[in-house]
Structure 1
Amino acid sequence: MILGKCPKCDKVLSDKDVKDVWYKGKTRAHIAYICKKCEYIIGFALRP
Structure 2
Amino acid sequence: MQRKTAFIRWVVVPACLLWGVVEVFALLRARIWSATAARPLFDTKLR
Give the TM-score of the pair, scaled to structure 1: 0.19
Higher strand proportion (structure 1 or 2) = 1
More helix by share: 2
Larger Rg: 2
- More contact order relative to length (CA 8 Å, sep ≥ 6): 1
